[in-house]
Structure 1
Amino acid sequence: MRPRARIVASATLVVVAGACALWLTGGLRAAGTPATVRPGQEVDQRLFRTRLVGAHVTTFPKTRFTAARRLLVINAWVTNPTRETVGTMSGTDDDVFAHGVFLRWDTRDGPRPRLTDAQAIAGNTLFRSLQPRLPTYVAVQYELAAATVVPDHITVALAGYRHTDAGIVDPRGYWSYQARRYTTRLERDPVTHRSGRVAQIIPVLVADVTLPVRR
């Protein structure tokens, strides 16, 4: 596992800092004043070059194995400008595309949509990676609760990233959120049952994009 920015106030637990979960009116807290960007305009997140092009709501009917589901899908064209393959969705790492995409959500519209997947799409193929310098269509998927009402327009915030040189251990270095500040919380390791304070990054938000929602 690659190193991450972290602050640990107790030596009893070391946990990699994950995606921040601090919300403003149900959405991520703003860092400074993000630029207001039109749909389709490219945003430089440093780790990604992103064009958010639309959003839509879709329904998957009930099957023998799964319940019916409603999804909010954010549509984007994404370029990975680095020389390494980067993921679209995985675990708690912050250097995957979906974890730098945040919905600004009004809780009066019901429970917050839950991020479930982000799939890259090429023809009939679905995958979860962004190859170096290859523009790729990505669909970021959020599951909707029964009581959630999706408004006609939603605002999406994009996080900024920074690269840290890791020296001899990993000459490639690593990517993490560009930090506005840090917050710590007490966590318990489910394996060792040891507790300690773990830092989470509150990222700088570089852009807000307001998208119309198709039904």
Structure 2
Amino acid sequence: MDRDWLIGTGLAFVAGFVDAAAFVALAGLFTAHVTGNFVLIGAELVSTSSGVVSKLCALPAFILAVAATRLIALALERRGIAPLRCLLGLEAVVLAGFGAAGVSLAPFLSADSGPAVLVGMLGVTAMGIQNATGRLALGHLAATTVMTVNVTQAVLDVTDLLRGERGGGARTRARLRRMLPAVLAFAVGALAGAFGVAAWSFWCVIVPVSVLAAVMIAPEPVQDGSGA
């Protein structure tokens, strides 16, 4: 449970951080969940602002990242290798590339310029890898990239507990213990990402990369040898 808590909260923090930092630095581009870009595309098309190109490219980049992650995970499993650490390592490398490209190429002439689109797609790719990893290797944890479902479930669970739910109360409390840390970590990450990119530009990406490194080296649970 300690390792699960570290992974769940760490990845939620990373997603919130990267999403907020990219949103501030790249004209409102969502990297952790591409559905928000659909709404923004409509808004952009009826306004005079920029950033449409990145938002249009986000969906295919996300799809390719998820598909590639799936293929990599299958290849690792065929070789008897647990994919989680490798996939987290891949995400860390791509995320580091996102930060390095941002440091090297910023400031951007416009949100639709080639350098801006390249940097944005690296961020989307990193979050696509995290989304896929969550489904492939962390299905027992709360979602770490999109908080709407987590918040909805948490409110339902709190409501049931407050009305004195009979039976299943233990399951409800256990689910809350999974959901709430992820929601809070995402919120803290979003605040940190927004202030971080405002203060240190893309250098701030060192923070989520470091968190990913900490998650990667989290020790496996110690077996007690009892066979339980």
What TM-score does the superposition give when structure 1 sets the normalisation length? 0.24
| Structure possessing the higher relative contact order (Cα contacts under 8 Å, 6 or more residues apart) | 2
| Greater helix content | 2
What TM-score does the superposition give when structure 2 sets the normalisation length? 0.23
